[in-house]
Structures are given as C-alpha cells and as structure tokens.
Amino acid sequence: MAEPVPAFLALVAPGEVAVTRSRGFEASHRFGREGTTADRYGHASRLHGHNYVVSATIAGSIDPCTHFLVDFRSLDDLLREAVAPLDHRRLDVEYAALGDREPSTEALAVALFGALAPHVRSRLEQARLLGVRVAENDGLWADRREGGAVEVTRAYAFSAAHRLADPQRDDAENRRIYGKCANPQPHGHDYRFEVTVAGEPDPRTGLVADVKALDEAVAARGRPRSGSPSGSGSSSHRTSPASREWSSTRRRAPRSRTRDPPDD
C-alpha cells in the first residue's frame, strides 16, 4: 500500500475516503531545452537519470455493495498506462506531453495529472483524482492538486547539539522535567526539514521554483546563531534545531541536488 499524501487529504470531503497508489519508473533528462546557458542549471544541463515514484490519490464514497471505493487493480492499471510512456525514456526528448517545458518534477506532475484525470472520471466513476505527486528522490518532489495548485518541496538535513533546561530552575528541577535531556553536556540529533514553494508553473519552462536559488536561500538563512543555545530561555525551545554553539554543529548539504547532480 502506498503512503498517503497529506497535502491531498485536506481535499477529502466529509463522508469520503481517499486511496493512494504509487508506481516507480526510471528515466533520464537534461535541463536547458529552452536555449538557456548551462550556467542556469549547472550539472543538471548534462544528461542524468532518476528513479522516480508517482503517487496518485483518489477520493469518493464507498460503494455500499462492494464496500470498496474502487478496485485497487483498476487504479494500478491507470497508473501503469500513464507511466509507460516515461519508463526508461529520455524525458526531454521522448515524452511529448511536456511540450517545450523543462523536464522538471512539477512539469511531470502537471502532465501526469492531465493524463490521469479524464480516465479516473470515465473508468472509476465513483472516484475523482485529488492529486498526483512525482518524487525524484526523498529530497525533492512536486504535487499537482485538484483545482490546479502546484507545489514543489525540497527536504534538507543537518546535525546539531542542544540541551533542554530552564535557567530559572535548578539542576534537580530541570532533571525532573526534562530527564536526560537536561544533562549539562549537550546531546545531538540529525534534523530534517522541508520547504514547500507553491505557484503557477512558468508557461515557457514549466518551472515553479528555481531549486538552486532555494538551496542558496536556505543555506544563507538556515544557519543557527552562534552562542544561541536551544536550552537557554523558556522550555518552548525544546524542539529548536539551534545549537548550543555554532562550533558544536555540523551542517550538511541536502540529501540530493536533483537539478545539480554531483560530478562523475
């Protein structure tokens, strides 16, 4: 069973249920088809590939006779048919549904939503398509929702140390409230956070966001302030990723730079 897509569940009406099914495919692509220089897309202007996962979420009322929303095999068949033109293909050359747009995750999500929606209506009569998610990996994906909204999400990770303690309480009280997390020597975590950008895809390129610019913005603003321990001040800092000292943190790059793949 595929994981539900939380962004789509908000569209489920009272009395309805939602079902998500997923299917993977492998494909290659390169950016820069609209004639821009290689500098705009970096290494992504070179031919490279991904293991994609497409998730389709439908919603509707349960059939009182079968007690199903739909036969899952029917939705699987629709996904298989929609993904077939992409599997083991070069997307910027062989996937006609993209037109002149860049082969981005958001352009693929828009194209696949358009391919699936009419077939869901005609072949799964009691269901409607809530949304389609296309993930290049666990660090970058795009959602096309019912109603036309398109979102691009980028995930980032970093490591940091902190302790939980209220300076207005003594050590014994902090230990009682926060347990081992109040140890004077900080402990650490591997953190992960996600940034979602929503908007209309550029009609010429198909892009909603410049992922490279987003990475740079996160790198510029995401650094914990030096000398700002997450354990100082009130207990509201208990989930803060800020470090006890900047020197005690180790920032890491995003898990993947989909539009800027590593050098060979």
Model pLDDT for residues 132-144, shown as the tens digit of each residue: 999 999 999 999 9
In terms of DSSP bridges, do strands 17-29 and 89-90 run parallel, antiparallel, or are they unpaired? parallel
Residues in the chain where the model's pLDDT stays below 70: 1-4, 34-39, 222-264
Instruction: Give the tens place of pLDDT for each residue, 57-96.
Output: 999 999 888 889 999 999 999 999 999 999 999 999 999 9
What pairs with residue 158 in β-bridges? 191, 251
Note whether 196 and 260 are within 8 A (CB).
no
Query: Hey, what domains does the chain have and what are their CATH numbers?
Result: 6-154 (3.30.479.10), 156-251 (3.30.479.10)
Q: How high is the pLDDT of residue 13?
A: 87
Q: How high is the pLDDT of residue 61?
A: 93
Q: How high is the pLDDT of residue 118?
A: 95
Q: How high is the pLDDT of residue 37?
A: 57
